[in-house]
Structure 1
Amino acid sequence: MSSYQVVPMVYNSKEQINAIILLEQQCKQLDSVHLKADLDHISQKDGDHALLCYRDGTLVGLLSWYASDTVTGNINAIVHPQYRRQGVFSNLLKRAILDMKPQGINQLSYRVPQGLSPGVHTAQSLRAIYDRAEYSMQLVNEALEVTEPPELTLSVAKDEDMEFMVTCSSQAFGDSEEWTRNYFMQTNEPSRVNYIAWQDQTPVGLVRINSINATTAFIHNFCISPDYQGRKIKRTALRILVNLLREQSYTDIRLSVVTENERALNLYRSVGFEVNSEYHYFSGNLNM
């Protein structure tokens, strides 16, 4: 029986990129769930790590991962339906763990599309515990016009804004300031831009943009300081941000939200975002 060959992806390899696109298409034809390889994230320099699994020269599986902090590896994987339960994912994961351990990563987060039962079974077989579900949302309508002059302004964060960013994010999301500071340092790539929301020369909020490519922007870490919540500031800031991204020629604007956060879900819909997919997340560790 032929053995599997696991190799690192070369981000600018046209041959590998074409093979990944074909694998996505094959999965889409054979699955009721559309699996995504997150090609935008793995086909750029300094993007997510990616491993490819071949059998007899044919790509049958892919695993990508990135570290959102200093200890957690976030995993996304796709396996050709005809090669599932045959060791493809386990071979990919073993190799990924070898790459993660020297970086101090000891926790894993598996992303599974809603409705993909093989993915759920795999996560459970690895003793991973269900963590949360998130909607992926995409802007489908133009943001409403902001009254001029706006009651709020956005500006690119400067080095001296770091302490506000740490405090604001920590208070909004319930993480420690130490973890939050490490997270910002870990995700300080050129593709990310941090914006501070100001009202009357006072910093009141934070939002980060990850530029996936020339036309796609992902909004994340969007938060308002507790003292200023409930004043419609978040909706105004989001409208300003969307208009700003449109001016920068982004045509595909995305974000994600926990499915149980009805307040945030309604906010994003009010500005023109709609749900296009749902993902479930499972937490595990490096011990297989």
Structure 2
Amino acid sequence: MIWKQGLDEQEQAEIRELAEACEEHDGIRLKLNWDMLQARPADQMNDVLYYKDGKLVAFLGIYIIIPAEAELSGMVHPDYRRQGMFMRMVEEACEQLSRRGPKEVIYICSRDSASGVAFLQRRGLPYAFSEYVMERKDADNAPLPSGQQREIHLREAGADDVTMLAELNRVGFGLPEQEAGDLATAALSPQEVTYIIESGGRAVGKLGVLLEGDAAFIYGFCMRPEERGHGLGRAALAGTIERLRRESNIARFQLEVAVSNERALGLYESCGFRRTNVIDYYKESLL
């Protein structure tokens, strides 16, 4: 078992090969946050690789977006399960995290992963919430909505917009001030682009985009409460899709939405997104 500070190209390739074997065997899609794996800070140990006979057979990744919580996601090759290696990896990760500051660990598990669900049940972890994974493919010829009552403008956010982004996180998601600020700072990393949605000369919402190959992952999409229901969010999403098509030749769009958020689910479906997976999240306190 090896803890890594950053992942080289060979290790990333081995993780992808392992993920493909697990996904094919289990009939699932794993959530491994590839953009973060490709840009790991060299001064932090965030990844655990488990080798047997020179072959990578298990992986666990730690993902910290805000200081208060850490997310864990990983897998074990089908031929090497029920040997206790994943439990050992998780226990070491939690021990390390207890010294680094996060107060909670969130476990990411595809609902269709029988082995993942069984592990979480053995660990006795409480269920927290679920998200739909949704995707839009231009090859499906799904139309985009057109027309809105007010004109919108998408402006790429910069370092001077952190305070504005924090405010939008706070009012749009109902987050505490500290968490809203942490998310605003994280959104300005080199791998991400955040657009501020403007209408009538003021910021009414925002959304973020991660690019990977021909796909774009849309995240952190929120509108001010008083601006909802007027078609601005739908127009902003459609405008973002058109912009990414034109500027980056993107043909596939992905996002995640809380199962309980029926308003957002309807908005995404109106823009051609369809549900492809369900991710369940479980929480464990480190205090």
Q: TM-score range by the shorter chain?
A: 0.7 to 0.9
Query: Which residue does the alignment assign to 2:108?
Result: 111
Deviates more, 1:24-33 or 1:246-255: 24-33
Q: How many residues align?
A: 281
How far apart are residue 200 of structure 1 and its match? 1.5
How far apart are residue 71 of structure 1 and its match? 1.6
How far apart are residue 46 of structure 1 and its match? 4.2
Question: Which runs of structure 2 are paired with 1:34-183 in the superposition (5 Å)?
Answer: 34-35=29-30, 37-46=32-41, 49-141=46-138, 144=144, 146-147=146-147, 151-183=151-183
Change (3 A) 1:30 1:165: closer
Q: Is the 8 A contact 1:6 1:91 kept in 2?
A: no
Residue identity matched to 2:243: L
Change (3 A) 1:224 1:86: same
Deviates more, 1:118-127 or 1:198-207: 118-127
Q: Take 1:139 and 1:177, find their aligned partners in 2: how far apart are those partners?
A: 33
| Counterpart secondary structure, 2:12 | helix
Change (3 A) 1:94 1:140: same
Change (3 A) 1:252 1:275: same
Q: Take 1:184 and 1:102, find their aligned partners in 2: how far apart are those partners?
A: 25
Q: Is the 8 A contact 1:128 1:285 kept in 2?
A: no
Q: Take 2:29 and 2:202, find their aligned partners in 1: how far apart are those partners?
A: 44
Q: Take 2:69 and 2:187, find their aligned partners in 1: how far apart are those partners?
A: 13
How far apart are residue 150 of structure 1 and its match? 7.2
How far apart are residue 7 of structure 1 and its match? 3.7
How far apart are residue 124 of structure 1 and its match? 2.9
| Counterpart secondary structure, 1:69 | coil
Q: Are 2:26 and 1:31 aligned?
A: yes
Query: Which residue does the alignment assign to 1:275?
Result: 275
How far apart are residue 245 of structure 1 and its match? 1.4
How far apart are residue 85 of structure 1 and its match? 2.4
| Counterpart secondary structure, 1:110 | strand
Residue identity matched to 2:60: L
How far apart are residue 39 of structure 1 and its match? 4.1
Q: Take 1:239 and 1:269, find their aligned partners in 2: how far apart are those partners?
A: 12
Change (3 A) 1:191 1:109: same
| Counterpart secondary structure, 1:248 | helix
* Unaligned ranges ≥5, structure 2: none
| TM norm structure 2 | 0.87
Change (3 A) 1:202 1:22: closer
Q: Is the 8 A contact 1:6 1:92 kept in 2?
A: no
Q: Is the 8 A contact 1:157 1:195 kept in 2?
A: yes
How far apart are residue 219 of structure 1 and its match? 1.1
Query: Which residue does the alignment assign to 1:246?
Result: 245
Q: Take 1:183 and 1:36, find their aligned partners in 2: how far apart are those partners?
A: 20
Change (3 A) 1:162 1:124: same
Query: Which residue does the alignment assign to 1:195?
Result: 195
| Counterpart secondary structure, 2:282 | strand
